[in-house]
């Protein structure tokens, strides 16, 4: 019995030390997509809290119809106050985003009233060698010294072929 218990503990410890390296593309909001959520901001907060996002491995996709929504990366202060006038990055097309540095990143819709109605999400990214941390409390402030983002957009050319475009951004903010 003691030997079986030791083996079981060793297997559990080994499993805890192994880290996922397979890339996952998460659609923000799952089937809901990127829209004004029926449950307000708690909808996207719950979505983000049930996933672990790994730096330089995973991507998140903001899926929406062009012209009906947009997505912008903002500071924590702008996220909390739904200030839409000074985004760090913004697109009016659906976007696939990868992060290359750990931290919490804040995304909102800048269309009038959308953020205030809950169309915003804070996404915490961890290093692949680190265990998943607890979600950040709302009072935590993240300072961006560089913009460690990789944007992967799917564009359609004149022939209707989809192609993936990658852009990594860096530099002081």
pLDDT in tens, 99-149: 999 999 999 999 999 999 999 999 999 998 755 555 555 444 444 444 555
Of 55-69, 74-88, 129-143, minimum mean pLDDT range: 129-143
- Position 129 scores a pLDDT of 75
**Is 94 in contact with 60 (CB distance < 8 Å)?**
no
pLDDT in tens, 10-28: 444 444 444 445 899 999 9
- 166 pLDDT band, cuts 50/70/90, is very low
**Is 38 in contact with 75 (CB distance < 8 Å)?**
no
- Position 131 scores a pLDDT of 56
Q: Which residue has the tokens 């996207």?
A: 44
Which one, of 123, 121, 145, lies nearest residue 54 by Cα?
A: 123
Provide the whole-model pTM.
Answer: 0.69
Kindly state the helix (H) or strand (E) to which residue 13 belongs, with its residue range: helix 2-17
- Position 15 scores a pLDDT of 43
Strand partners, 152: 96, 166
Residue 134 burial (10 A CB sphere; 0-12, 13-18, 19+): exposed
How much is the average pLDDT of 50-65?
96
- Position 6 scores a pLDDT of 55
- Position 3 scores a pLDDT of 65
Strand partners, 120: 108
Which one, of 99, 95, 106, lies nearest residue 69 by Cα?
A: 95
- 151 pLDDT band, cuts 50/70/90, is low
Q: Which domains are delineated in the chain?
A: 23-169 (2.60.40.420)
């Amino acid at each position: 019995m003691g030997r079986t218990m030791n083996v079981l503990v060793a297997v559990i410890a080994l499993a805890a030390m192994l880290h996922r390296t397979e890339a996952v593309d998460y659609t923000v909001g799952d089937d809901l997509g990127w829209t004004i959520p029926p449950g307000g901001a708690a909808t996207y907060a719950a979505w983000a809290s049930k996933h672990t996002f790994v730096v330089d491995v995973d991507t998140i996709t903001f899926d929406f119809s062009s012209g009906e929504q947009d997505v912008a990366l903002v500071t924590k202060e702008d996220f909390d106050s739904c200030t839409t006038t000074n985004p760090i990055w913004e697109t009016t097309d659906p976007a696939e985003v990868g992060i290359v540095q750990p931290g919490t990143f804040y995304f909102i819709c800048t269309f009038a009233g959308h953020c205030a109605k809950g169309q915003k999400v804070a996404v915490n990214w961890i290093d692949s060698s680190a265990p998943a941390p607890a979600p950040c409390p709302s009072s935590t402030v993240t300072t961006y010294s560089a913009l460690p983002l990789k944007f992967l957009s799917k564009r359609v050319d004149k022939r209707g072929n989809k192609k993936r475009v990658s852009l990594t951004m860096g530099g002081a903010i």
